[in-house]
Chain A
Amino acid sequence: MTLLRLTGFGVTLGKRDILRGIDLKVREGELVGIIGPNGAGKTSLMRAALGLTQRIGQSSVAALSPRARGRAVAWMPQSREIAWPVTVEPLVMLGRTPHLGAGQRPSAADLAAVDRAMQRMDLDAFRGRTATRLSGGEQARVLIARALAQETPLMMADEPIAGLDPAHQLATMQSFADLAQEGHSVIVSLHDLGLAARHCTRLIVLDQGGVAADGPPLEVLTADLVRRVFGIRAYLEMTPDGLVFQPLEVVA
């Protein structure tokens, strides 16, 4: 089943074309990493695909009604906003918003979804803590849990692992991989190409206003592409421990 389909898709900001001519499909069971240099349009692509900004072309998700979209896609923006000193559990419960009717109280199913999300993000000890007093990385995990609690077929997250410690970066990527195994799909933008190579089933490289490459990590992260798009030289090897990608130096 296709969870996201973009056809002839593009993003314009004012008169400037940020992205154009993008056609892609995301099926279930995929962990898609969107990579590219700063300003390549990773955030713009995801926000426009969701229908949050000006766009050209078709997006299957943006065409949904707001409520149906809330049940189809969970979105975790890059800015980690927690406006009020709310405790962690009700904050994660906000992820159930699209599933609740007007004035409806959370059901046992909603509470169970919140529990599952908090367990996945290793947050049981934080349940009663005030979210705004947590560290930046802990807040990020709370916000990922919020998106997980939405329990949608597709999840999109903008740099979800930036600022996490190595253990939680790995654990978060692993829980995204688990979600993909369970038949959901996850689209994440990230800058850590090592983690992207290791965990994603598919990488989409954005550069020069379009898709520069799209495919499994081993096929995408060629020496040529890495030099052309990121301006670096890197080590890439399939090892017994899985795919290892390590940037080595900047090339002119």
Chain B
Amino acid sequence: MTRLFILLAGLVAALFVASLVVGPAQIGVAQSLRALVAGGEGPVTLVMREIRLPRAVLALLIGGSLGLAGAAMQGYLRNPLADPGLIGVSGSAALGAVLAIQTGFAAGFAFGLPLAALAGALAGVLLVLVLAGPGGSSLTLILAGIAISALAAACTALVLNLSPNPFAANEIVFWMMGSLADRSMVHVWIALPLIVLGALMLATLARGLDALTLGEDAAEAMGIGLRRMRLTLIFGTAAVVGASTAVAGAIGFVGLVVPHLLRPFVGAQPGRLLWASALGGAAMLLAADIAVRMILPDRDLKLGVVTALIGAPLFLHLIYRTRREGL
């Protein structure tokens, strides 16, 4: 178990450094790291501190968030096909962002876009809570999430449909593909508190998720408060996924594939899968964001497109393996 932790943490650290030294500005590895740490005047320090550092930090935070939330969601629903977007937060955050772009709020106000997306996420999670209720079964939570996701998607499509401005429509489509390009440290400061808060909430679920392996009845009889777990899960997921979507757009498949991929390595225990999946998600998103910059450096390849391109075949393989092993 500690070996897996060291392996994943090492991978994340290596990819984080790689993410810092890869970019269109051809700067040597030693020079760029020195500029980052030592500072000083000059363009290299500026590139490192204002462009590459926020990008690498955001990839770390958002990848970790999606992996963690995915593992928590799968553990709570006891379903390996659950995804952090299931409760409708990413869809409603996207709707908030789309409205901000369409109305010009995003252009007129410095950080209007991420703030509008956060407002959308908050509205989405409140609606899900009203629909699903604080108690109730996991099925009502899934149904409420699907309803909110569908509604948000329909409203997003409606905005695109009625958009009189082709540039805004274009911007919306590109934003929805998800990207970490051109993000600043302010984006980090917007996302960081929510992601830390949400991650701490989700981390408290470990023991309850383990107990839920035996079913809701057995877990409750062992002193696990299901109602509180459910609220913690919803708010924790909403905080990390809402903040992630707000600054990076919709990035799919990380929260779905990473927990599934790492489950055999933690003995399938949902509690341990939380931290493993957080590290794995960070590694996957850092790697994907490096790939975006390496494969087509001049074409602005979108991060969400790459994670989907990596994730979908991997997912198909996992389905095949699941069928074969009855896992």
A57 at the B interface (CB under 8 A): no
Known contacts A84-B213, A94-B214, A97-B210: A73-B221 contact under CB 8 Å: yes
Do A75 and B217 contact each other (CB < 8 Å), given the known contacts A70-B222, A97-B222? yes
Flag whether B297 is at the interface (Cβ < 8 A). Answer: no
Stretch at the interface among A85-93, A159-167, A190-198: A85-93
A102 partner residues in chain B, CB cutoff 8 A: 204, 207
In chain B, positions 226-261 with a C-beta closer than 8 Å to chain A are none
- How far is A77 from B217 in the complex, measured between Cα atoms in Å? 7
Q: Which residues of B contact A90 (CB under 8 A)?
A: 267, 269
Q: Is the CB of A66 within 8 A of B267?
A: no
User: Cα distance A204–B267 when bound, in Å?
Assistant: 42
Greatest chain B CB density within 10 A among A52, A84, A85, A146 is at A84
Determine whether the beta carbon of B212 is less than 8 Å from that of A52.
no
Q: B38 at interface (Cβ–Cβ under 8 A)?
A: no
Kindly provide the distance from the CB of B80 to the nearest chain A CB, expressed in whole angstroms.
9
Cβ distance B2 to chain A, nearest Cβ, rounded Å: 13
Q: Which residues of A contact B212 (CB under 8 A)?
A: 83
Beyond A75-B217, A81-B215, is A97–B207 a contact (Cβ under 8 Å)? yes
Q: 8 Å CB contacts to B: which residues of A70-108? A: 70-71, 73-77, 79, 81-87, 90-91, 94-95, 97-98, 100, 102
Q: Are A66 and B78 in contact (CB under 8 A)?
A: no
Interface residues of B in 187-220 (CB under 8 A from A): 204, 207, 210-215, 217-218, 220
Check B104 for interface membership: any CB of A closer than 8 A: no
In the complex, A185 has a CB within 8 A of chain B: no
Shortest C-beta distance, B135 to chain A (Å), equals 12
CB atoms of B207 and A143 under 8 A apart: no
Q: Kindly identify which residue among A47, A67, A86 contacts B213, using a CB–CB cutoff of 8 Å.
A: A86
Contacts of B213 in A (CB 8 A): 81-84, 86, 91, 94
Contact of A81 among B214, B221, B223 (CB under 8 A): B214
Within the complex, the shortest CB–CB distance from B322 to chain A, in Å, comes to 10
Query: Quick check: is B262 within 8 A (CB to CB) of the other chain?
Result: no
User: Is B225 an interface position by the 8 A CB rule?
Assistant: yes
Please determine whether B269 and A67 come into contact, CB atoms closer than 8 angstroms. Answer: no
Complexed CA–CA distance, A77 and B220 (Å) = 11
Judge if B268 is at the interface, Cβ distance under 8 Å.
yes
Using C-beta atoms within 8 Å of the partner chain, give the interface range for chain A.
Answer: 20 to 34
Given contacts A50-B221, A69-B223, A83-B78, contact A146 B327 (CB under 8 A): no
* CA–CA, A102 and B326, complex, Å: 33
CB pair B223–A98 under 8 Å, yes or no, is yes
Scan residues 74-96 of chain B and give those whose CB is less than 8 A from a CB of chain A: 78
What residues of chain A lie closer than 8 Å to B222, measured between beta carbons? Answer: 70, 75, 94-95, 97-98, 150
B79's nearest neighbour on chain A, judged by CB, is: A83
- Decide if B223 touches A143 in the complex (CB within 8 Å): no
Chain A residues with CB under 8 Å of B224's CB are 66, 97
Query: Which residue of B has the minimal Cβ distance to A77?
Result: B217
Complex Cα distance, B270 from A86, in Å, reads 9
Chain A nearest Cβ from B260, distance in angstroms: 11
Q: Which residues of A contact B326 (CB under 8 A)?
A: 132
Is B221 a contact of A82 with CB atoms below 8 Å? Answer: no
B183: chain A residues at CB < 8 Å are none
Query: Across the interface, do A70 and B221 meet the contact criterion of CB distance under 8 Å?
Result: yes
Across-interface contacts of B207 in A (CB, < 8 A): 97, 100, 102
CB distance from B199 to the nearest CB of A (A): 15
Query: What is the bound-complex CA distance between A66 and B269, given in angstroms?
Result: 23
Question: Which chain B residues border A94 with CB–CB below 8 Å?
Answer: 210-211, 213-214, 222
Cα of A199 to Cα of B267 in the assembled complex, Å: 38
B269 to A75, Cβ gap below 8 A? no
| B residues less than 8 Å from A71 (CB atoms) | 223
Distance from A11 Cβ to chain B, minimum over Cβ atoms (Å): 15
A91 contact set on B, CB distance < 8 A: 213-214
A146: B residues at CB distance < 8 A: 214
Minimum CB–CB distance for B72 against chain A, Å: 14
Please report the C-alpha to C-alpha distance between residue A105 and residue B217 in the assembled complex, in whole angstroms. 24
A-B pairs with beta carbons under 8 Å apart, 24 shown: A47-B217, A66-B225, A68-B223, A70-B221, A70-B223, A71-B223, A74-B221, A75-B217, A76-B218, A77-B217, A79-B215, A79-B217, A83-B212, A83-B214, A84-B213, A84-B263, A86-B267, A87-B267, A94-B213, A94-B214, A97-B210, A97-B222, A102-B204, A132-B326
Further contacts, 14 of them, CB under 8 A, given A83-B78, A91-B214: A52-B217, A52-B221, A66-B223, A73-B221, A75-B217, A76-B218, A79-B217, A81-B218, A83-B214, A84-B268, A84-B269, A90-B267, A95-B222, A146-B214
Report which B residues bind A (CB closer than 8 A): 78, 204, 207, 210-215, 217-218, 220-225, 263, 267-270, 326-327
| A residues neighboring B (CB under 8 Å) | 47, 50, 52, 66-71, 73-77, 79, 81-87, 90-91, 94-95, 97-98, 100, 102, 132, 143, 146, 150
In the A-B complex, the 9 residue pairs with the closest CB atoms: A70-B223, A81-B215, A75-B221, A83-B78, A84-B268, A67-B223, A77-B217, A66-B223, A98-B223
